[in-house]
Amino acid sequence: MGKHNVNNFSDIEYIFLDRDGVLNRSLPSDRFITRWEEFELLPGVAGAIARLNRFGRKVIVVTNQRCVALGLCSETDLLALHERLQKELALQGAALDAIYYCPHDIGQCNCRKPLPGLFEQAFCDFPGANARNSVMVGDSLRDIEAGARLGMRTIFIDNAHNGGSRSPDADRAVAVASVVARSLPDCVQRYFPLEATD
């Protein structure tokens, strides 16, 4: 990927999103969202996803969910939470094309970001997707590193701008990311043109 394309997102067809801190409000770093009652969709997120849907972009979530490995919830609980998320988004005219999650603990797999396993699975399931036409949007260094390692453009969501907690590695993530946005709605408004894809 040439450096001249790093800030141009007009050719992006697949938007990979982290979950916690991008779609919903994160809990403090030592806590995990394990029930729908703890899940708070961030303002404007459904509208931003609906806009991407309307213009033919595929929206795919890739999320580390270590809470399963720690025994704080089951995979069934996690799938139920994601089903509720899809229903909530549908009420607002939005949809996620897929949700991929890593349920493992640190060092136990190839799918925990920043490792590439979740993306490799998505690239198999969506044969048109590749590093050149995809972008990773996340609020942590591991999100940005995951995308960058694959050669994807990356957008760092700096939660300090929307009242969220700033990740300890935010300065490094800002330095590594292609660009920075304040939130997912800000990201979509700034970087994705209102044009339908063929």
Q: Is 171 a catalytic residue?
A: no
Q: Answer whether residue 196 is part of any domain.
A: no
Q: pTM score, two decimals?
A: 0.92
Condensed to tens digits (0 to 9), the pLDDT of residues 112-131 reads: 999 999 999 999 999 999 99
Catalytic residue among 11, 18, 105, 169: 18
What is the count of structural domains for the chain?
1
In a domain, 197, yes or no: no
Per-residue pLDDT, 41: 96
The active-site residue out of 20, 143, 158, 186 is 20
| Percent over 70 (pLDDT), the chain | 90
Tens digits of residue pLDDT in 43-91 = 999 999 999 999 999 999 999 999 999 999 999 999 999 999 999 999 9
Whether 118 maps to a domain, the answer reads yes
* Joined tokens for residue 73: 């919830």
In a domain, 96, yes or no: yes
Residue 160: give its domain's CATH number: 3.40.50.1000
Is 159 a domain residue? Answer: yes
Q: Is residue 90 part of a domain?
A: yes
CA-to-CA dists, residue 45 to 17, 54, 92, 117, 133, angstroms: 11, 14, 10, 26, 22
Active site residue 105: no
**Predicted confidence (pLDDT) at residue 183 exceeds the cutoff of 70:** yes
Query: Region 143-169: what's the mean pLDDT?
Result: 86
Distance CA 51, CA 7 (A): 20
Domain that holds residue 114: 3-191
Look at residue 2 and tell me whether its pLDDT is greater than 50: no
